[in-house]
Amino acid sequence: MGRGAVALLTAIGLAAAAPVRAARNAFPKAAAAYVVERDGRLLWSGAADKRLPPASLAKMMTALLVVEGGRLDESVAVSRTAARETGTRLGLREGERLTARDLLTAAIVRSANDACRALADARGGSQAAFVAKMNARAAELGMRNTRFVNACGHDADGQYSTAADLALLAGAVAAKPEYLSASRLERATIRTQDGKRSFTFDNTNALIGRYPGAIGLKTGTTPGAGTCLAALAERDGTRVLMVLLNAKDRWWGGDAVLDRAFAADPP
């Protein structure tokens, strides 16, 4: 292990020279809260039940409901509220029509709030009605410390989740081929159904195409949440899931944590 790797592991609170064994809180400085699992079993966690803003990791729930609802080739009209969404967006215009599948791809890959809101409005009738479905599905998954207020992860009073709950949600979307087929894309192009406009965008997940085995899942960044990441990587049939909330360094620090997880003794 080189000096750079040693320094990085030390900076995130994971001793480079320590034996590779499962531990409750192996790297406390990596994030305000985190969970690392391998093949569905817990390796490490820290402050896993602490309620924090989820940022765009909330979009995993929006995506899960859309995928479970089917009809991904259905035409969806961009609502007025979707066209007015703020933050990361494609610049969709009210009345434009795209397939639900293309909007889902934009919400997952680009984390586009206008695409996310268009899906929520179409599948719920309104954002409020859709959010009620999000909270009901969260309860079904056992996400006991989660409450959604909006569909796309904007900071809002009363919206919170935990690393443990988001790991449950991440496991649910990871079981959906439709979600993984989008989340593993380095770049995607979608088009309005009239063919007048197209949108090409890169994945906000910097691990995709750079970290060996990375296949998802979702990024998130807001002023209140900081930088967040739900990452999934697979090597030789082994899957590692990592959820970081308010991470110190979700990319290079995340690399080190994933490497450590693949090397760890079985939990």
Q: Which domain CATH number covers 92?
A: 3.40.710.10
Convert the pLDDT of each residue in 36-46 to its tens digit.
Answer: 999 999 999 99
Residue 132's SS3 state is helix
**Which residue of the set 59, 133, 218, 248 is catalytic?**
59
CA distances from 213 to 61, 117, 143 (A): 24, 30, 28
Q: Among 6-10, 28-32, 129-133, 236-240, name the one with the lowest average pLDDT.
A: 6-10
Mean pLDDT of 205-233: 96
**Which residue of the set 111, 183, 218, 248 is catalytic?**
111
Q: Is the pLDDT of residue 24 over 80?
A: no
CA distances from 29 to 111, 121, 256 (A): 26, 39, 13
Q: Which residue range(s) make up the domain with 215? A: 3-263
What pLDDT shows up at residue 266? 66
d(CA 171, CA 141): 10
Q: Is the pLDDT of residue 9 over 60?
A: no
Q: Is the pLDDT of residue 23 over 60?
A: no
What pLDDT shows up at residue 25? 67
d(CA 73, CA 100): 6
Q: What angle do CA 156, 163, 224 make, to 5 degrees?
A: 30
Looking at per-residue pLDDT, the higher value among 266 and 158 belongs to: 158
Around Cβ 80, how many Cβ atoms within 10 Å? 9
Convert the pLDDT of each residue in 160-181 to its tens digit.
Answer: 999 999 999 999 999 999 999 9
Domain count for the chain, please give it. Answer: 1
Q: How far apart are the first and last CA of the chain?
A: 24
Share of the chain above pLDDT 90, in %: 83
To the query of whether residue 111 is one of the catalytic residues in this protein, the response is yes
CA distances from 255 to 20, 177, 214, 215 (A): 16, 24, 10, 13
**Which residue of the set 56, 79, 161, 183 is catalytic?**
56
To the query of whether residue 59 is one of the catalytic residues in this protein, the response is yes
What pLDDT shows up at residue 14? 47
Reported confidence tier of residue 8, pLDDT bands at 50, 70, 90: very low
What pLDDT shows up at residue 29? 77
Residue with tokens 């809101």: 117
Q: Is the pLDDT of residue 213 over 50?
A: yes
The answer to whether residues 158 and 147 touch, using CB atoms and an 8 Å cutoff, is yes
The answer to whether residues 72 and 119 touch, using CB atoms and an 8 Å cutoff, is no
What pLDDT shows up at residue 186? 96
What pLDDT shows up at residue 201? 97
The backbone torsions φ and ψ at residue 218, rounded to the nearest 5 degrees and listed phi first, read -160, 145
Convert the pLDDT of each residue in 49-80 to its tens digit.
Answer: 999 999 999 999 999 999 999 999 999 999 99
Convert the pLDDT of each residue in 74-121 to its tens digit.
Answer: 999 999 999 999 999 999 999 999 999 999 999 999 999 999 999 999
Q: Is the pLDDT of residue 11 over 50?
A: no
Q: Work out the mean pLDDT of the chain and round it to a whole number.
A: 90
pTM for the structure as a whole? 0.89
DSSP state of 11: H
Reported confidence tier of residue 252, pLDDT bands at 50, 70, 90: confident
